[in-house]
Amino acid sequence: MPREESDVRRNDSIIPCFICVELVIMVGTVLLTYYLEFTDIFSVHRQGFFCFDSTYTKPYPGPEETSLLPPVLLQSLASAVPMTTIAFGELAAFVFQAELVREERTIVTADCCSLNPLLRRVVRFLGVYAFGLCTTDIFVNAGQVVTGSPAPHFMTVCQPNYTALGCQLSTQFISSENACTGSPGVVSSARRAFPCKDSALTMYAAVYTVMYVTIMFQAKGTRLTKPMLCLTILCLTFLTGVVRVSEFRSHWSDVLVGFLTGGAVAVFLVCCVLHNFKSLNSSQENPRNVREPVCVKLALPCVESPLEKLSVIQNRSVAFSEGT
């Protein structure tokens, strides 16, 4: 069945803007993530420590790959689960002609090219998700590089020579750059505890997925399905933080700040960039041309202006007098 003319919109600038602006930003974000994650261009700050500080003397749990939840597994799940959920949800919405999909329009970019609503929404949601995942990783790595906060097992891998450092009291602060005698690579990794990267990435993926499931899945007779699915995803995220703390790889403060960072990025992208996964066509059209009070979409009451109330009362009075 051919689409009506009102469902088709021509826009010759969408592809040039995507290539010249959005794609460049995405490539720059990925490159910055790579340099922070896999190179030594940005050196970690060497934070000092107190002599005989028991806070950082926990046993060394081994490399990250030997963890109960290795980073490769967590990052793979953080990428695969949300993207699969979004692709499946958009395909189901397109097949069953959900209301949010019907509001989208087909964009014609050339005489032979067009972007249908399904392709637009999938590219939009997955692109924003990938951008947010890289942004969360950048925030976390930047925080780790700037602070250089020690992990709970830092003293175990640092192996400081207290006699050579002249440690006599536990209140003596050591700021020497050559205080550690352990392996430089392991010591540098032990200085990257704040904020916790695994908790930030998993919380970002969980919040993004939970908001998508809550907003998009509107099937009847499934009142407990969405809460159970969302709580399961969030519980797995909190389990990640518990494992990090139990293995002495992170402090509780590192995990909590990671949760806040990932959750904040996800909420911002969903609410302010994607507008709760809804199209802007319906919100831009106002068939009644009625001026409504502008309110911020938060948990705050909408306060009308006294002048608007007065104008409404006057209009009602005029209408009543004309009717009588």
According to the model, what pLDDT value does residue 1 have?
A: 42
Measuring CA to CA, which residue among 209, 201, 199 is closest to residue 241? 199
Peptide bond into 59 cis (omega under 30): no
According to the model, what pLDDT value does residue 173 have?
A: 83
Measuring CA to CA, which residue among 46, 288, 70 is closest to residue 191? 46
* Residue 80 Cα distances to 138, 197, 205, 277, angstroms: 20, 17, 10, 19
SS3 291: coil
DSSP letter assigned to residue 55 = G
Which tokens go with 310? 């007065």
Contact indicator for 155, 57 with CB cutoff of 8 Å: yes
> Phi, psi at residue 127, to the nearest 5°?
-65, -45
DSSP letter assigned to residue 247 = T
According to the model, what pLDDT value does residue 307 have?
A: 45
Q: Whole-angstrom Cα distance, residue 168 to residue 170?
A: 7
Domain ranges of the chain: 5-284
* Residue 322 Cα distances to 81, 224, 316, 318, 319, angstroms: 62, 53, 10, 6, 5
> Which pLDDT tens digits describe the chain residue by residue (324 residues)?
444 444 555 555 556 666 667 788 888 898 998 998 888 888 888 888 888 888 898 999 988 888 888 888 888 888 888 999 998 888 887 777 666 555 555 555 555 555 667 777 888 899 999 999 999 999 999 999 999 899 999 999 988 888 777 787 767 888 777 888 888 889 989 999 999 999 999 999 999 999 998 888 776 666 777 888 889 889 989 999 999 999 999 999 999 999 999 999 999 999 998 887 876 554 444 444 443 333 333 333 444 444 444 555 556 665 656 655
According to the model, what pLDDT value does residue 72 have?
A: 84
Q: In what order do the strands lie in the sheet with 106-108?
A: 8-10, 106-108, 114-115
Residue pLDDT, tens place only, 40-77: 888 888 888 888 888 898 999 988 888 888 888 888 88
Measuring CA to CA, which residue among 103, 142, 88, 80 is closest to residue 7? 103
Q: Whole-angstrom Cα distance, residue 309 to residue 313?
A: 6
DSSP letter assigned to residue 221 = T
Q: Whole-angstrom Cα distance, residue 37 to residue 228?
A: 35
Q: Whole-angstrom Cα distance, residue 127 to residue 125?
A: 5
**Cα 124 from chain centroid?**
15
> Phi, psi at residue 10, to the nearest 5°?
-95, 135
Pairing of the two strands 8-10 and 49-50: unpaired
Contact indicator for 89, 226 with CB cutoff of 8 Å: no
| Helices and strands: H and E segment counts in the chain | 13, 5
E-assigned strand segments in the chain: 8-10, 49-50, 106-108, 114-115, 173-174
Q: Whole-angstrom Cα distance, residue 195 to residue 105?
A: 42
